C-alpha cells in the first residue's frame, strides 16, 4: 500500500499565492469589477498580504473609491491595521484621498485607531478640515 501524497498547505501552494498576488494587484490598481467578482467567488474580503495589508487598505491608499466601496459593501473591515499598525483611514489621510476618507468613515472607520491614527496623520499634515470632520463638526 502506498502512502498518500502530502498535501500542499494552501498558504504555500504556488497557485494560491499567484491568485492572491493578482487580487492584491486588482485592489492596488482599482479594478473594481474584477475585484468584486473575486470576492463574490470566495476570496476572503479581509485577505492580507505579507505585510498585513488588506484589500481595502491597498485600494484606499492608492485612491480607488469605487474599489473601496465594493469591498466595504462586502463587509471589509475598515479598521483592520496592517503589521505596522496603520489603518486604511490613516493611509487615505496620508495620501489626501478625501473621497476614500468619507467612504471609510461612512462605514465605521475609527479616526483614532492605528499608529499613527488618522487624527494624528491629519494633524501632521495640517488638515484642519479633516480634524473637524473626525470630531463631527
Identify whether 3 is part of a domain. no
pLDDT of residue 124: 96
Task: Give the CATH number of the domain where residue 64 resides.
Answer: 1.25.40.20
Q: Could you list the residue range(s) of the whole structural domain that residue 113 is in?
A: 14-135
Q: What is the number of structural domains in the chain?
A: 1
* DSSP structural state of residue 106: H
Closest CA to 101 of 54, 133, 67: 133
Identify whether 5 is part of a domain. no
pLDDT of residue 23: 96
- The number of residues in the chain equals 137
Q: What is the mean pLDDT of each run of 10 residues along the chain (137 residues)?
A: 50 81 96 97 95 97 98 98 97 96 97 96 96 89
Identify whether 66 is part of a domain. yes
Taking residue 125's Cβ as centre, other Cβ atoms within 10 Å add up to 12
pLDDT of residue 5: 47
pLDDT of residue 6: 47
Amino acid at each position: 500500500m502506498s502512502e498518500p501524497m502530502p498535501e500542499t498547505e494552501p498558504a504555500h501552494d504556488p497557485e494560491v499565492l499567484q491568485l492572491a498576488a493578482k487580487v492584491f494587484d486588482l485592489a492596488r490598481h482599482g479594478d473594481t469589477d474584477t475585484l468584486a467578482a473575486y470576492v463574490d467567488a470566495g476570496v476572503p474580503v479581509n485577505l492580507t498580504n505579507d505585510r498585513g495589508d488588506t484589500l481595502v487598505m491597498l485600494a484606499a491608499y492608492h485612491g480607488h473609491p469605487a474599489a473601496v466601496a465594493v469591498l466595504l459593501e462586502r463587509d471589509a473591515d475598515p479598521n483592520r491595521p496592517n503589521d505596522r499598525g496603520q489603518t486604511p483611514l490613516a493611509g487615505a489621510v496620508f495620501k489626501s484621498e478625501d473621497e476614500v476618507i468619507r467612504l471609510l468613515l461612512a462605514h465605521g472607520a475609527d479616526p483614532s485607531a492605528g499608529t499613527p491614527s488618522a487624527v494624528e496623520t491629519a494633524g501632521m499634515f495640517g488638515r484642519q478640515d479633516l480634524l473637524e470632520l473626525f470630531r463631527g463638526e
